[in-house]
């Protein structure tokens, strides 16, 4: 009899435990399903703050770094099409002037160009920019310029120059440009700062460690200044970017996961103030396939798993890059 009573008691206890864990499991699954559903709603159905709010057609200017190619050039065209005047900055003045002329003719906006090399971190360049931007109403800043390791490289083998260049371009340029324009945005209580982040900042990327760290900085810094500036009317958005077809990515063909700059930038500008696949504040992962990957990274398996994945991917890319270098060196020798 005792044994039967014990069995019944134990079974009840087990059943309660199973029910409790079952309920917790169901709640976790429901929460995850809801958060995935929210990502889909964000990227497919919601529209963000209209960029026209930032002085479009009313004398507002957008300042874009790294504006002569790739994603930055596309920002210049799409922001000009919304009637923002454009300041274009990169190293190659001839390219900037050609783009500026095209923008003026096509969209009837004003433009300014400034050629500088951000790797130099030269005070006189930033002073000249301060001078150039002081008299105009800067309402949008796109901190787009970025540089990367030439090939995936173990940190201890990377050159001091590449390490310094990445820090100067990806970190210091964003901070210095922001310091120049934020006071006038705050004074007007109207401004938008878009920082071009990367999935390398979301998941640490072995062999691209300095680039990865610089984008992690950008992510953390964007969230911090985003919170500081929101009550002052300035919207900060770090944009988590997976791959986009460009010179930097060395990818020439678009796929579902790797868009051309045009649809990519359209997704960024269509979702200002909306998280998309991002789970951190003042951050957005707006392109639909990137958003789904972002959600998977945040919700499926551990960060350790994703770092290991990156380790394997970059090891493979490094091997192929070294073989290519060897082939090129042999070809050069035989000439
Ligand atoms: N493409 C991707 O897959 C991807 C993924 C994640 C994040 N991102 C980020 O997106 C941003 C734009 O990348 P992208 O792929 O569009 O690059 P990109 O096509 O290589 O264009 C880079 C732009 O920056 C300018 N630039 C490069 N170095 C410069 C320097 N030292 N000083 C001044 N200007 C410089 C280039 O013009 P000049 O040569 O004339 O100077 C060009 O206009 C970067 O911050 C990058 O980290 C890109």
- Please give the Cα distance from 225 to 237 (Å, whole number): 10
Residue 198 assigned ligand-binding role: yes
Please report the pLDDT score of residue 214 as a whole number. Answer: 98
Band of pLDDT at residue 63, cut at 50, 70 and 90: very high
Q: What is the pLDDT of residues 129-177, one digit of tens each?
A: 999 999 999 999 999 999 999 999 999 999 999 999 999 999 999 999 9
69 alpha carbon to ligand 1 midpoint, in Å? 7
**Which atom of ligand 1 is nearest the CA belonging to 243?**
3
Mean pLDDT of 30-35: 90
Nearest to 161 by CA among 201, 206, 121, 127: 121
Please report the pLDDT score of residue 2 as a whole number. Answer: 67
109 alpha carbon to ligand 1 midpoint, in Å? 24
Ligand 1 test: best mutation among 90, 141, 251, most atoms within 8 Å of CB? Answer: 90
Please report the pLDDT score of residue 29 as a whole number. Answer: 87
Q: Is the separation of the CB atoms in 244 and 238 below 8 Å?
A: no
Ligand 1 test: best mutation among 67, 68, 70, 253, most atoms within 8 Å of CB? Answer: 70
**Which atom of ligand 1 is nearest the CA belonging to 117?**
32
Band of pLDDT at residue 8, cut at 50, 70 and 90: low
- Please give the Cα distance from 30 to 219 (Å, whole number): 29
Domains and CATH numbers, the chain: 44-301 (3.40.50.720)
- Please give the Cα distance from 110 to 103 (Å, whole number): 8
74 alpha carbon to ligand 1 midpoint, in Å? 12
Atom 24, ligand 1: residue with shortest CA distance: 66
Query: At 189, phi and psi to the nearest 5?
Result: 55, 40
Active-site positions read 211
186 pLDDT above the threshold of 80: yes
Q: Which residues line ligand 1 (CB under 6 A)?
A: 66-72, 90-92, 95, 117-119, 144-147, 169, 196, 198, 241, 243-244, 246-249
Ligand 1 test: best mutation among 64, 66, 113, 221, most atoms within 8 Å of CB? Answer: 66
Q: What is the pLDDT of residues 220-238, one digit of tens each?
A: 999 999 999 999 999 999 9
**Which atom of ligand 1 is nearest the CA belonging to 244?**
3
- Please give the Cα distance from 170 to 165 (Å, whole number): 8
Nearest to 197 by CA among 167, 169, 222, 228: 222
247 pLDDT above the threshold of 80: yes
**Which atom of ligand 1 is nearest the CA belonging to 258?**
3
The fraction of the chain above a pLDDT of 90, given in percent, is: 88
Band of pLDDT at residue 3, cut at 50, 70 and 90: confident
Please report the pLDDT score of residue 1 as a whole number. Answer: 54
277 alpha carbon to ligand 1 midpoint, in Å? 23
Please report the pLDDT score of residue 334 as a whole number. Answer: 85
Parallel, antiparallel or unpaired: strands 85-90 and 137-143: unpaired
Mean pLDDT of 12-23: 84
The fraction of the chain above a pLDDT of 70, given in percent, is: 98
5 pLDDT above the threshold of 90: no
255 alpha carbon to ligand 1 midpoint, in Å? 20
Nearest to 138 by CA among 65, 198, 74: 65
Please report the pLDDT score of residue 318 as a whole number. Answer: 97
Listed in sequence order, the DSSP H helices in the chain are 2-44, 70-81, 93-107, 123-133, 160-166, 173-188, 199-202, 209-229, 261-270, 288-299, 303-334
Q: What is the rounded average pLDDT for all residues in the chain?
A: 95
DSSP string, 172-208: IHHHHHHHHHHHHHHHHT-EEEEEE--HHHHS--TTS
Q: Is the separation of the CB atoms in 243 and 226 below 8 Å?
A: no
7 pLDDT above the threshold of 70: no
Please report the pLDDT score of residue 335 as a whole number. Answer: 78
- Please give the Cα distance from 89 to 176 (Å, whole number): 14
């Amino acid at each position: 009899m005792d044994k039967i009573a014990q069995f019944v008691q134990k079974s009840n206890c087990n059943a309660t435990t199973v029910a409790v864990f079952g309920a917790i499991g169901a709640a976790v699954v429901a929460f995850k399903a809801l958060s995935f559903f929210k990502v889909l709603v964000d990227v497919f159905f919601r529209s963000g703050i209209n960029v026209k709010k930032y002085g479009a057609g009313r004398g507002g200017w957008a300042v874009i770094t790294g504006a002569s190619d790739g994603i930055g050039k596309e920002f210049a065209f799409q922001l000009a099409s919304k009637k923002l005047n454009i300041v274009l900055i990169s190293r190659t003045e001839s390219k900037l002037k050609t783009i500026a002329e095209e923008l003026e003719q096509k969209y009837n906006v004003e433009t300014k160009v400034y050629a500088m090399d951000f790797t130099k971190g030269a005070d006189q360049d930033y002073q000249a920019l301060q001078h150039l931007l002081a008299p105009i109403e800067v309402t949008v800043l796109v901190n787009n310029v970025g540089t990367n390791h030439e090939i995936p490289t173990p940190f201890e083998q990377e050159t001091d120059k590449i390490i310094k260049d990445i820090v100067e371009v990806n970190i210091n340029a964003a901070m210095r440009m922001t310091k120049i324009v934020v006071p006038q945005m705050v004074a007007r209580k109207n401004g938008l700062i878009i920082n071009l982040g990367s999935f390398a900042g979301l998941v640490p990327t072995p062999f691209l460690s300095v680039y990865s760290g610089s984008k992690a900085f950008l992510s953390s810094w964007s969230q911090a200044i985003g919170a500081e500036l929101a009550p002052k009317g300035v919207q900060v958005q770090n944009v988590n970017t997976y791959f986009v077809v460009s010179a930097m990515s060395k990818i020439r063909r678009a796929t579902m996961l790797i868009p051309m700059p045009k649809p990519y930038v359209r997704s960024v500008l269509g979702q200002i103030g909306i998280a998309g696949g991002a789970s951190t504040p003042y951050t957005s992962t707006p392109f639909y396939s990137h958003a789904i990957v972002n959600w998977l990274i945040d919700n499926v398996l551990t960060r350790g798993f994703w770092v290991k994945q990156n380790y394997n991917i970059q090891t493979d890319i490094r091997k192929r890059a070294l073989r290519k270098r060897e082939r090129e060196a042999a070809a050069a020798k035989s000439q």
